[in-house]
Chains A and B, each alone.
Chain A
Amino acid sequence: MPQRGPGPAPTAAPADAVRAASVRGIAEELAGLRGPLLPVLHAVLERHGYVHDDDVPVIADVLNLSRADVLGVVSFYHDFRRTPPTAHRVTLCRAEACQARGGEATYAAATDRWAGSSDVELGEVFCLGNCALGPAGTLDGALHARLTPERLEALTAGWDR
């Protein structure tokens, strides 16, 4: 079963012809690869920030897959977000090595700080490969080490709450 379920339904946007054409172009460009679906979804993510529900039939059509096949893959993997990204993203490691260095306290502080924020999205990740310098996390994609609650606060001081 997918760990996070299908997720909330994306806010209904009218079918966007420009986006559909872009997604079709991405899929057509990569269709020749062996097993092209993940590369296509990553490329859509990179270009558009998330996978919209309307992208699914377009990709399915180009790759000659069923929509269920595509949706099944989109919903299986944590990376393929289905809602537009927020202005800032904080991802904190909650795996064992970072727990051993106090990562849960940082996560708890971050949860308190950004609860209900529409600008900052807090996510969890299980290992960023920075296990000797934890707690590790990424701030808008950049890897950071030794993220105590205080350091996290200092590094994100310029962000709107």
Chain B
Amino acid sequence: MSAVVWVPCDAAAVSVGADAVAEALTAAGATVRRNGSRGMLWLEPLVEVETERGRVGYANVAPAEVAGLLAGDLDDGERCVGVVDDYPWLARQHRVSFARVGVIEPTDLAAYRERGGLAGLERALTLSGEDVVREVTDSGLRGRGGAGFPAGIKWETVRTAEADVKFVCCNADEGDSGTFADRMLIEGDPFTLIEGMTIAAVATGASEGFVYLRSEYPHAIRTLRRAIDIAYAHGVLGESVLGSGRRFDLDVRVGAGAYICGEETSMLESLQGRRGEVRAKPPIPALHGLFGRPTVVNNVLTLSAVPMVLADGGAAYAALGTGRSRGTQVFQLAGNVARGGVVETDFGITLGELVEGFGGGTASGRPVKAVQVGGPLGAYLPPARFGLPMDYEAFAEAGAMVGHGGIVVFDDSMDAGAMARFAMEFCAKESCGKCTPCRIGSTRGVEVIDRIRGGVQREANLVLLEDLCATMTKGSLCAMGGLTPMPVRSALEHFPEDFGVDAGTADAVAGEMPESATSTDGGARP
């Protein structure tokens, strides 16, 4: 009997040689199955061998080592991590949305069902739309894309809207640096997303759905398309969802390299085949969305939390978390971090537990200087703030945001002034150009930061930068221009020396935090 081994097909694993390892294992006579990644990315390629004890993992396997691995040569070394399910880094997590990722073959619908899949959709089909929405509202689920808007309220708006056709759109344009959970979920367990979107459609009366997936994720595109085909073939999608007589059609649309299309109205424009320029709100997409019709727009992780909410009830989900941040969040440890990957856990865990406890500090072994939480538009925070609990409101109060849960770690070689400049430069490069504060302000921001760092009329330029940041925050149409000041201001606040500024001067100029930094939605308008 040949050994059954699992080799991840996740893009991150493939990028460090997983495909070659799988080929070598097949050639060596093993039965190779492909799973998603467990999210312990520093161990990839992580090969798992089925044993009586469970699936035993071997880290960083190279193709030349597979014969030895199968012969048991690696069993006693540190490369063998033991039974993967019991590995402390993984066992300490609370995986809800990611429960099946890395465990099953991504497009194996039978395995998906065996592990609780489709239970949520089956239950939703027995309820009225109103009751399904109530479960989601009761769960306290908030948008995981960054804005944290309550999903149930959005769904109720769409449900009660009158229209000839309604849409469910999944925002999978995961362009924020340091975030990869959407990608890993789609590559590792795409049926969860399909089920979540179908539940959203059932709840709101939508009949068509689109996943807007970025072109930078070719592996995810392939996996999701295959999963959708399988879902159609098994009656999960199509003219009669699970035999209910309700129609739901789902399609994947591929982005084209524009960061701004992660903004929901820009994404809708792009789906309509236009330039990805943001729309002014109101009208809100829930009432006037894709092709002007009522549209649910949610992030991958929001929709992927829905099957569990329906299967176990909203109250079970609401029992997790802290304050007004209910349920779990999928955090992503990235950048210069020793143990990078996916940590799904209840809200309320501290930043320090994530960075030091799970992440193990920097990959370079040097001290952590700062972490950026929530993507390129999130704040830079020094280790002094590691006591902050991961919670939408606590972060907003600290002038930061949880965002999509990405945490990028920097060691002490980082130049915070250069990163602030980069934030403005990136905004200038990726601005859709529709509103002036973002389009022009970002370019002026680069220039002003250069003058500050160059020592040209430093105090006057600090005042000007603060004024510019306030204008961008309050005057931009969307969160791109509105939040670009967040990394800039936080870098200046915590690391004024990197701008050639002494701490007292920076404090005197910084003044009050802008409205967007203290509001609960992180500045993005629902």
Interface residues of A, Cβ cutoff 8 Å to B: 1-3, 33-39, 41-42, 63, 69, 72-73, 76-80, 93, 95-101, 125-134, 136, 141, 143-146
Contact = CB atoms under 8 A, between A and B. Distances in A.
Interface residues of B, number: 63
Contacts of B217: 129
A131 B253 contact: no
Contact of A35 (B11, B271, B336, B340): B271
Nearest to A42: B254
23 contacts: A3-B430, A34-B271, A35-B271, A38-B254, A73-B275, A76-B275, A95-B177, A96-B177, A96-B178, A96-B376, A96-B422, A97-B406, A98-B335, A125-B257, A126-B426, A127-B179, A127-B216, A131-B180, A132-B180, A132-B333, A133-B12, A133-B16, A133-B44
A124 B258 CA distance: 13
B14 A143 contact: yes
Among A34, A127, A133, max chain B CB count under 10 A is at A127
Interface of B: 11-12, 14-16, 41-42, 44, 174-180, 183, 208, 215-219, 251, 253-259, 270-276, 291, 332-337, 340-341, 363, 372, 376, 406, 408-411, 414, 419, 422, 426, 429-431, 433, 439
A99 B419 CA distance: 9
Given A38-B256, A126-B259, A133 B429 contact: no
B417 to A, nearest CB: 13
Nearest to A78: B257
Nearest to A144: B15
A63 B274 CA distance: 13
Given A95-B177, A129-B11, A132-B41, 15 more contacts: A35-B272, A38-B254, A39-B253, A42-B256, A72-B275, A78-B257, A96-B177, A96-B178, A96-B376, A96-B419, A97-B178, A99-B422, A129-B217, A130-B12, A132-B340
Contact of B408 (A96, A141, A145): A96
B273 A35 contact: yes
Nearest to A3: B429
Among A1, A39, A41, A145, max chain B CB count under 10 A is at A145
B340 A133 contact: yes
Contact of A143 (B11, B270, B272, B414): B11
A61 to B, nearest CB: 15
Contacts of A69: 274
A131 B178 contact: yes
A39 B212 CA distance: 12
Contacts of A101: 335-336, 363
Given A34-B291, A37-B273, A127 B176 contact: yes
Contacts of A95: 177-178, 376, 426
Contacts of A78: 256-258
Contacts of B256: 38, 41-42, 77-80
Given A100-B410, A130-B180, A77 B257 contact: yes
Contacts of B426: 95, 126
Contacts of B333: 132
Contacts of B208: 34
Contacts, number: 159
Contacts of B177: 93, 95-98, 126-127, 131
Chain A, interface SS category: loop
Contacts of A37: 273-274
Contact of A129 (B180, B341, B363): B180
A126 B175 contact: yes
A130 B414 CA distance: 20
Contacts of A141: 218
Contacts of B16: 133, 145-146
A131 B419 contact: no
Contacts of B259: 126
Given A95-B177, A97-B177, A131 B216 contact: no
A82 B390 CA distance: 45
B8 to A, nearest CB: 13
A122 B271 CA distance: 29
A90 B152 CA distance: 44
Contacts of B341: 132
A133 B333 CA distance: 10
Contact of B433 (A1, A41, A63, A134): A1
Contacts of A93: 177
Among B219, B291, B429, max chain A CB count under 10 A is at B429
In order of increasing CB-CB distance, the 3 nearest A-B pairs are: A132-B340, A37-B273, A95-B177
A42 B253 CA distance: 10
A143 B225 CA distance: 20
B382 to A, nearest CB: 15
A72 B258 CA distance: 14
Contacts of A34: 208, 271-272, 291
Among A79, A132, A133, A143, max chain B CB count under 10 A is at A132
A110 to B, nearest CB: 17
Contacts of B174: 127, 129
Contacts of A38: 253-254, 256, 270-271, 273
B183 A129 contact: yes
Contact of A97 (B253, B270, B276, B335): B335
